[in-house]
Chain A
Amino acid sequence: MKRSIRFSDRLANWLPRLVLTPSLLVVLVAVYLFIAWTGWISLSSSNIVPRYDFVGLEQYVRLWSTPRWHTAVANLFIFSSLFLGLTTGLGLLMAILLDQRIRAEGALRAIFLYPMALSFIVTGTAWKWILNPALGVQKVVNDAGWTSFVFDWISQPRFAIYCVVIAAVWQSTGFAMAIFLAGLRGIDNSVIKAAQIEGAGLPLIYRTIIVPMLRPAFLSVIVLLSYVAIKSFDLILALTNTGPGSATEMPSTFMYAATFRRDQMGVGAASAMMMLMTVAAIIVPYLYSELKETRDGC
C-alpha cells in the first residue's frame, strides 16, 4: 500500500517532465540543432551538397555582393514596415469602430476575421487574379465605363511589392483587430466617462488614455506579425513568384532559390543566418523592454 502511494507520488512528480520531454527534444533537434548546422554550413564552401570545411566569411561576402540579395533586403524592409504599420493601424481603427456598441457587431467581426482562415497560397492566388489588369479591378472599372483607368502595379517592377503588401494586409488586419478588440473590451468604461467629464473628446481619450492602455495588445500583434512578415514565402510564390523579374524577391525566397535551385547552399545558409539575426535584432530588445515594463507593474 505504502509503496504504491509512493509510486503514484513519484509519477505525479515526473509526469510533467515526461510529457514535456518529446516536444523539447523535437524542438532541440528540429530548431536549435538545425540553426547550428545552418550556421556551420554558412561558414563552409558547400554548394550542391553540404561540405564540412571552413572558408570563413566567404559565403557572406558572396551573399552581399549579389544584387538580387540587395533587392530582397530592400523589399523586406518596404514590405515589413508597410505591412506592420498598415495592419496595426487599420486593425486598431477597426477595433475602435467596432467597440462603439454598433449593431451586427458579431457578424462584422466574423467577416473581418475570415481572411485569417485562408492560407497565404489561397490569398496569393486570389489577389493575383484581382490585381491582374486583364481580369481584376482594372477590367471591372474599365468595363464600367472608365476606360482610361489603369491599375497594373503587379506587372510593374517598381510597384509589385506594394501588391504583396495589399494582399498581406488584407489577410492579417482582421487578426490584429480581434486582438485589439479584446484589449478594448477589458478597459473599464468609467475611465472613458471620467475623461469625458474632464472635457476630453473621444479622439483625445483614445490617443492619450485608451491606446496607451493597449500596450500588451500591441506587443502581441507586433511580435506575431513581424515573424509573419519575415518568413513570408508562400504569399510571394503564389502572388508574384518573385517577379516581375526579381522585383518581389524576399530573403526567404532568395534563400530557397539559392539553396535548392542554384546550388549555392553556402550562400543560402548565409542568407538564413542574416534573417535570423534580423529577427533577433528586432524582437529581442522589444520583448526585453516590454517584459521588463510589465514586471515593474505597468
Chain B
Amino acid sequence: MATLEIDRVRKSFGSVEVLKGVSISIADGDFLVLLGPSGCGKSTLLSMIAGLESVTSGEIRIANDVVNDLPPKDRDIAMVFQSYALYPTMTVRQNIEFGMKIRGVQPAERAKATLAAAEMLQMKHLLDRRPSQLSGGQRQRVAMGRAVVRDPKLFLFDEPLSNLDAKLRVDMRTEIKRLHQRLGTTIVYVTHDQIEAMTLATRVAVMKDGVVQQLDDPQVVYDRPANTYVAKFVGSPSMSLIPARLAVDGAGAVAVFDIPNEKPARISGIPIAKENATKFNGQNVLVGIRPELFTVSDGKPGRTISVHIDVVEPTGPDTLALFQIGGVEVTARVPPKTVEARKSATLTVDTTKIVLFDAVTEDRID
C-alpha cells in the first residue's frame, strides 16, 4: 500500500522524446488507469515505474521514496503483463512460488501463500498444470496470482486483458476490480480501452503523445473532458462536437448552429461562466454533446432542435440515431422505436451537461 508520485518525468530514446514532462500523483489505494492510444507513452511510463526503463529526467516516488535508481526488485512492486509472461517450463505452482523462493520465503509459508492466492482466484485445481495446458483467462489468473503472493506496495498491469476474447475480458475486468476492492492495494493499470478505464479506475490519466491530457475521476473525465481529444477518446459512441457561434442574450449563452439554406438553429441555456460568455461572445466554439443528452421531445417548446434522422442503429436497450447538425454527424441515444430513419424528429437537449470547447485551442471553456 503506497502513494505514487510521478513528478515532471521525461523519457527520450535517442532524439525521440516519448514522455514530455508527465506529472501524476495518486493516493494510497487508488486505482490509476493510464489511458491512451498506442504510442502515447503509457506503457513506457509503466515500465519506468517498474524500473525496467530508466528515467531521463524527473522523479518517481513510491510511498514518498524516490525510486529512480532502484532496480525493479527493490521497488516492492508486482507486474502483470499483456502476454502473461508465465515461465513455460514451470508448473503453475512453481510459477507462483518462483519469486518467493528468490526472496527466501520458507517452503511452508510459500505453500500457504500459494494456496491462499489460488483460492482467491479460484484456480486451486490448476496448480500442477503447465502454462501451455491453460486457456488465456486461466493464464491471466496465474499471472495475477503470481503478483498477489508478492503482497507488493504497488500492482502494475500492462494491458492485461488485450489478449482475451470479448466475453472473458468482461469477466476478468470484474475479477480485477474485485481484487482491488479486497486487497486495497494501489494499482497502476495501462489500457487503450476506455471502457476498462471507466469501469476500473478511481483516477484516469488520459495520455496523448507523451503528455497527460487530463487526470481526474473517471466520471469527471467523462462529464467534463479537458479538451476535444479526451472528449472524443472517452465514451462510446463518442461525444459529438458541433461547430457553432456563441451568442449572449438576456437569458444567458446561446449556441447558434448555421444550417445551410435554413434559419440557424439555436440552443440556449449553455452552461458557461459569465466572464467567458462575454469573452467568447460572437466567436466560434465547439459544442460537445453526449448521445444520452438528447431525448425525444414531447412537443413542448424549450431547448429543442429539429433534425432529419439519417440512420437508426438499434442496440437493444436503446437506439442510436444519427443526423447532421452544422455539417457534422451527431449521435443521439434514444429509447427504442421512438425515431425513424429518413424522417424528421424534434429532440430536446439536456443543456446542463453540454461542454463547450474553444474552436482554436480545443480546450474546454468553463
A-side residues, CB < 8 A to B, are 188, 190-191, 193-200, 204, 208-209, 212-213, 215, 297-298
Contacts and interface: CB of A to CB of B under 8 A. Distances in A.
B66 interface: no
A297 B133 contact: yes
Nearest to A211: B89
Given A188-B85, A190-B85, A191-B85, A196 B73 contact: yes
Contact of A194 (B81, B89, B103, B130): B81
Contacts of B150: 198
Contacts, number: 67
A162 B72 CA distance: 45
Contact of B79 (A197, A212, A215, A298): A197
Contact of B130 (A198, A208, A215, A298): A298
A298 B132 contact: yes
Which are the 7 A-B pairs with shortest beta-carbon distances? Answer: A198-B99, A199-B73, A212-B89, A194-B85, A190-B85, A190-B81, A197-B72
Nearest to A212: B89
Interface string B110-133: 000000000000000000001011
Contacts of B77: 197
B89 A196 contact: no
A297 to B, nearest CB: 5
A212 B90 CA distance: 9
Interface string B132-175: 11000000000000100010000000000000000000000000
Contacts of A197: 50-52, 72-73, 77-79
Contacts of A193: 50, 52, 72, 79, 81, 85
B72 A190 contact: no
Given A196-B52, A197-B72, A198-B73, A191 B87 contact: yes
Nearest to B150: A198
B81 A200 contact: no
Contacts of B88: 191, 213, 298
B82 interface: yes
Contacts of B98: 195, 198, 200, 208
**Residue with the greatest number of chain A CB neighbours at <10 A, chosen from B52, B82, B132:** B52
A190 B102 contact: no
Given A194-B79, A297-B132, A213 B103 contact: no
Contacts of A215: 89
B89 A209 contact: yes
21 contacts: A190-B82, A190-B83, A190-B85, A191-B87, A193-B50, A193-B72, A193-B79, A194-B79, A194-B85, A194-B146, A197-B72, A197-B78, A198-B98, A198-B99, A198-B102, A199-B73, A199-B99, A213-B89, A215-B89, A297-B130, A297-B133
